[in-house]
Structure 1
């Protein structure tokens, strides 16, 4: 066998191996559970297909994967960039600087209502000067704080609180559509809004829970507590001569009295 035949056979085997590898990588993309892993597998399959098509002169396949390779690389770089931005945002503090070019100014006098609970929510606010109270939870906001975002992000688009100016205030506001544009251009800002909304909801839940528990304890009448503390028939000592069981009609009267007290 001549040297050229050996080289040709070796080259053919290498090209076939590249083709099989490319096919295997394409199959692997269907088994990936995350988009980043899928993109990496797609890039490797593009490289293998380009090598296979080039040496075997399969030009349609060569053109296809020569176009897909830079596209997959660009998408992978974009995903890595978003991941890095989100990681940095999770460690940093919230800033409204990216919102400022899109925001408009408005003023309210002390005592005026900015929005009421149940109003339609179509904008968010940043407090530039003064102080604002959220009446339902008795929370006072200071300069630099953002509010009104929960109603905007909710499906019903309803205000969950009533915001009232404590002093003369200056607010900066932004519509929902403008906010969507800013968040699309700045993924870190969208992540900050997600954290802010969750923290606000958790804080509101923490404020309401003790009050709800206190009301339930206040509604609990002494008569109802006494009925629960009374032993049942099975636990009453029948052998004691000093024990006298309460008549059934007396227990019924106590329960009815308890129900009227709670209602």
Structure 2
């Protein structure tokens, strides 16, 4: 059986897929085209007995499928978070664990910022504002939006616990792969800013509130 035409067809098809993927800016269509190319080249490699190509794409196929599944799940989770409580659960698989001891400083004000943190356990305080962050809070993302890329406050651990960290470079990669993440991140940062402003305004109101002296009642003789 003459299978030379299959070889030429496969080469032409592979060239088309390579050119197509080079024009893509996001990861999901890139993975879809990768899966299609894997299937095509596997199908062509069997009758032509091109075993190196067969093995290569038999390995790449499940990798592309797994990565596509991750990206689709990420998009679903981001959409759910944007429309509900701004949860950061979807970001956990991309983060690194870090144990913290009481008195440890995670970062200082005005230092260069390169990562953000998700609080899993323990107690943490923003020193300058005195705001204590609850478990489940994300902190350090404002440094990414700062014009100078610097920390706006100091973060101190006041009770030993665990945090998860993710670098800004990883966050930028997620944004490139899933532009919807950018909208979520802006909503998250805005919510944090309004929360901090509200806390500071409440403290200023308490400080400036007039002190009312209590005059004891005069008991009749």
Per-residue displacement from partner, 1:71-121 (whole Å, max 9, x unpaired)?
Answer: xxxxxxxxxxxxx99876542222333322321111111111111111111
Aligned equivalent of 1:166: 158
Q: Unaligned regions of 5+ residues in structure 1, if any? A: 1-83, 219-263
The CA distance in 1 between the partners of 2:121 and 2:77, in whole Å, is 30
- Whole-Å separation in 1 of the counterparts to 2:131 and 2:209: 25
Q: Which residue of 2 aligns with 1:103?
A: 95
5 Å matches for 1:1-263?
90-209=82-201
Q: Check 1:109–1:138 CA distance in 2 against 1; reply closer, same or farther (3 A cut).
A: same
* Contact 2:125–2:158 (Cα < 8 Å) also in 1: yes
Partners of 1:85 and 1:187 within 8 A in 2? no
141 and 210 in structure 1: CA distance in 2 versus 1, 3 angstrom threshold? closer
Q: Find the aligned partners of 1:119 and 1:101 in 2 and give their Cα distance.
A: 27
Post-superposition offset of 1:156: 0.8
SS of residue paired to 1:166: strand
Structure showing the higher strand proportion among its residues: 2
What are the Cα deviations for residues 134-157 of structure 1, in whole angstroms up to 9, with x where unaligned? Answer: 122221112221100001222211
8 A Cα contact 2:81 2:88, kept in partner? no
Q: Calculate the TM-score normalised by the size of structure 2.
A: 0.52
CA distance, structure 2, for counterparts of residue 209 and residue 129 of structure 1: 28
**8 Å Cα contact 2:77/2:90 also seen in 1:** no
Which runs of 5 or more residues in structure 2 are unaligned? 1-75, 211-221
Decide which structure has the larger Cα Rg and report it.
1
Going from structure 1 to structure 2, the CA distance change for 1:115 and 1:86 (only over 3 Å counts) comes to: closer
Q: Is the 8 A contact 1:89 1:188 kept in 2?
A: no
TM-score, normalising length from structure 1? Answer: 0.45
What is the deviation of 1:215?
8.2
Structure 1 position 188, deviation (Å): 4.0
- Distance in 2 (CA, whole Å) between partners of 1:85 and 1:109 is 32
Cα distance in 2, alignment partners of residues 94 and 215 from structure 1: 32
Greater RCO (CA < 8 Å, at least 6 residues apart): 2
Q: Once superposed, what is the RMSD of the aligned Cα atoms?
A: 3.3
| Aligned equivalents of 1:217, 1:143: Cα separation in 2 | 31
